[in-house]
Chain A
Amino acid sequence: MPSARDVKSRIEAAIPGADADVQTADEVHFSATVRATAFDGLSRVAQHRLVMDVFDDELGGSIHALALKTEVP
């Protein structure tokens, strides 16, 4: 099961300049706030897709849920 730190480092590795704050109580349900300059000019849907694409097939599998908030710094 991924830890909050795994999820954080994968988001930050995949999205240039991203800063992720990730919480999980059970390593299955995650909650993340991601700030990234890469989000600038994108719709919220496009911002969320950038993050969700990092986990692709794992969403709904080993990552049961990822509650997400995106911000432009």
Chain B
Amino acid sequence: MSDNPVRDAIAEAISSNDVILFMKGTPEHPACGFSARTVAMLEALQTPFAAVDILPDPRIRQELSALSSWPTIPQLFHDGELIGGCDIVSEMYESGELAEALGAQPRADAPQDAPAGADPAPAPLGIENRLS
């Protein structure tokens, strides 16, 4: 353990989940189009995945990027390795490499091209009322 609990928690999440996506928002309510597309691709491949919303705390994104040497969000990891962001995941989805790498069984109606994903919701403001 280091003296950086956020980085430790991220490293632990990456190593303990076969497939994990760091994204803006949640799979149900993505807050960015790139995150939404990546979720839609994983869902088309019927791949179970863990998801971490990086928005609630800026340290998550900061430590994640420091750990992965990757500046942008989303970031998809498999077996502890960074597969890539939305561009790489889209390219691999369309070539069939993503399904192969993840050992996935695509849905019968999985589109050939990378799916567009749901319209992203605006990022939550996260205002918590502690007055009452």
Binding site for B on A (CB under 8 A): 44-45, 48-49, 52, 59-60, 65, 67-69
Q: How far is the CA of A69 from the CA of B88 in the complex (A)?
A: 8
Q: Is B80 an interface residue, CB under 8 A from the partner?
A: no
Interface of B is mostly: mixed
Residue on A nearest B84 in the bound complex, by CB = A45
Q: How many residues on chain B are close to A (CB under 8 Å)?
A: 12
The one of B70, B82, B87, B92 in contact with A67, judged by C-beta atoms closer than 8 angstroms, is B87
Binding site for A on B (CB under 8 A): 69-72, 82-85, 87-88, 91-92
Q: How far is the CA of A37 from the CA of B100 in the complex (A)?
A: 26
CB-defined contacts of A60 to chain B, threshold 8 Å: 71-72
The one of B69, B82, B83, B87 in contact with A68, judged by C-beta atoms closer than 8 angstroms, is B87
B69 and A49: CB pair below 8 A? Answer: yes
Interface of A is mostly: mixed
B88 and A44: CB pair below 8 A? Answer: yes
Q: How far is the CA of A14 from the CA of B71 in the complex (A)?
A: 18
CB-defined contacts of B87 to chain A, threshold 8 Å: 48, 67-69
CB-defined contacts of A67 to chain B, threshold 8 Å: 87
The one of A44, A45, A59 in contact with B71, judged by C-beta atoms closer than 8 angstroms, is A59
Between-chain CB contacts (< 8 Å), 20 pairs: A44-B84, A44-B91, A44-B92, A45-B70, A45-B82, A45-B83, A45-B88, A48-B84, A48-B85, A49-B69, A52-B70, A52-B71, A52-B72, A59-B71, A59-B72, A60-B72, A67-B87, A68-B87, A69-B87, A69-B91
